[in-house]
Each structure stands twice: as structure tokens, then as C-alpha cells.
Structure 1
Amino acid sequence: MTTTPIAMLSHNFAEVKKLRSAGNFASALPLVHSSKIESDEDAFEAMICLFVSGNLEAVLGQVGRHEW
């Protein structure tokens, strides 16, 4: 299984990935919502974090936030 290298993510979304991977959704989710998506990798990490946390409504809310 390959993972997205941290270097491909913006600073905030690299932190989101670390927090999510540690299961710290209480810190990861506010950072997702307050951060600007700068790349496809950031957008994908946002979707993964929201999906894994079980927040499917927020996943749908991300639609249109970043043009793929």
C-alpha cells in the first residue's frame, strides 16, 4: 500500500494527516475546516479525514470547495 508523501501536502494538511493517522479527529477536523485547500492532495486528504471520521455530510459539503 502506498501513501501520499507528506511533502506533497501543504503544511496544514500534513498536520491533518498526522493527527488523523493518530486517531486524533478532535484536532484534525477543525484544522480541515479552517485550512485553505491548495492542491488535489490537500483536497483528497480532507475527504479521507472527513470520511474516516464518519462525517459523511461534511464529505458532501466539500464538493465544489476544490476544482479537481
Structure 2
Amino acid sequence: MNTLKTTQCGETVTVLKLHGEGPIKRRIMDMGITKGASIFVRKVAPLGDPIEVTVRGYELSLRKNDANMIEVE
């Protein structure tokens, strides 16, 4: 299973599924990260946290724990 956490800088991926439940999953979905959304990984911080991505035309920073819940292809 590939997750957003394992995606390399400069890659564009498509969301397959969101793992997790409750408020965390809701928050991720509210940021526009839903099934079928295209995500471009812009930067990864030196220690790997946070990950900076572009989704639906705007930029987001995600923690590694959140990125690990997003299954991509």
C-alpha cells in the first residue's frame, strides 16, 4: 500500500482511499483531500515533517501521521 507519506518530492499522485475515522478523517476531507483528488508533493521538510502539497489549486502542509492515512496510487 502506497501512502502520501511514502510519496517522493515532485511526484503527482491520486487519492485512492482515506484511512482513519471521526474528526481526523473529516478534517482531511475538509481540506479537499478526497477520493480521486490529485495531489502534487511540493516539498518535504528535512526531518520529513511536515509535507507540503498542492491539492485542488492550493497549498497545504500535512503532518506525517495525517499523510500516512492517505492511500494513493
Q: Which has the higher contact order (CA 8 A, sep 6+)?
A: 2
More strand by share: 2
Normalising to structure 1: TM-score of the pair?
A: 0.33
More helix by share: 1
Normalising to structure 2: TM-score of the pair?
A: 0.32
